[in-house]
Structure 1
């Protein structure tokens, strides 16, 4: 059991994500449950993983990521205009509300209501943090060099 993060390590860590204005977008510490990550599994960008490589158990680090290294740029193809009739009549559609949509394969995907104009509802299926520079604060709790 090594305590240094390598290319295939399994990592248990706390993180806080902050936006450009310093506001907290997400934090495992607020939820009281650390995150687990398998390095090299493709769930993170290469640059994000590079920021973690070499950190040891107990280490704390702050790093900034551009949209391409974090949650991606806003993709206009992920913004859809839907008829109001596709939503339940008693559902109050407010700008900023996040709703769950069922894809044809049965998987659920979140969509953010960006606007309601008459019978047209604008739904954004981009990640809520897409297009943002973000600051990650991480605290490494445990490292398994051999992975899962």
Structure 2
């Protein structure tokens, strides 16, 4: 059943609703690495996702792809790093002293290379980096988004628009 949002794109009364900023959607989507085909997430094998646009439930670069799609649309987008999560920034790979690491994380924490680690910010927020190396002297972190520098494939099927 096609339902038409009061804010749907102009057209005749029988035309399908279209995705707009702030739309509430039910959809299947698959995000994969374009070069290897490895899935990052795939709801086609599970229940569909239901989420509002613009509230951070889906990354903003992916939400941009959805704007204007019609109810029932099935679309595949190939995204270069600049269109998705940006290029990798070598300045975001940083070494912290082990003393700083222990003071912020705790000396008894059991982190291994590859683990995401959250740090507190002065305003009470949190930010995360991936631990790359941990020695008695230092901890090396990558604060780039995990998908930065990656070409992505984003497949989506719109099941409903509210």
Same fold (TM over 0.5): yes
Does the CA-based 8 Å contact 1:16-1:138 persist in structure 2? yes
Decide which structure has the larger Cα Rg and report it: 2
Alignment-derived partner of residue 10 in structure 1:
23
In 2, Cα distance between the equivalents of 1:79 and 1:138?
A: 33
5+ residue gaps, structure 1: none
- TM-score normalized with structure 1 length: 0.77
Does the CA-based 8 Å contact 2:120-2:126 persist in structure 1? yes
Does the CA-based 8 Å contact 1:14-1:35 persist in structure 2? no
Cα RMSD (Å) of the superposition? 2.6
Change in 2 beyond 3 A, CA 1:28/1:103: farther
5+ residue gaps, structure 2: 9-16
Deviation at 1:140, TM superposition (A): 1.4
Does the CA-based 8 Å contact 1:84-1:119 persist in structure 2? yes
Q: Are positions 1:123 and 2:136 aligned together? A: no
Does the CA-based 8 Å contact 2:93-2:143 persist in structure 1? yes
Question: Mean alpha-carbon deviation: is it higher for 107-116 or for 84-93?
Answer: 84-93
1:88-122 CA distances to partner (integer Å, 9 max, x unpaired)? 22222311101111112111112101122441111
Aligned residue pairs, count = 138
Q: Return the structure number with greater relative CO, CA threshold 8 A, min gap 6.
A: 1
Question: Mean alpha-carbon deviation: is it higher for 97-106 or for 23-32?
Answer: 23-32
Q: Are positions 1:36 and 2:52 aligned together? A: yes
Query: Structure 2 residue aligned with 1:70, among 84, 98, 113?
Result: 84
In 1, Cα distance between the equivalents of 2:97 and 2:41?
A: 32
* Structure showing the higher strand proportion among its residues: 1
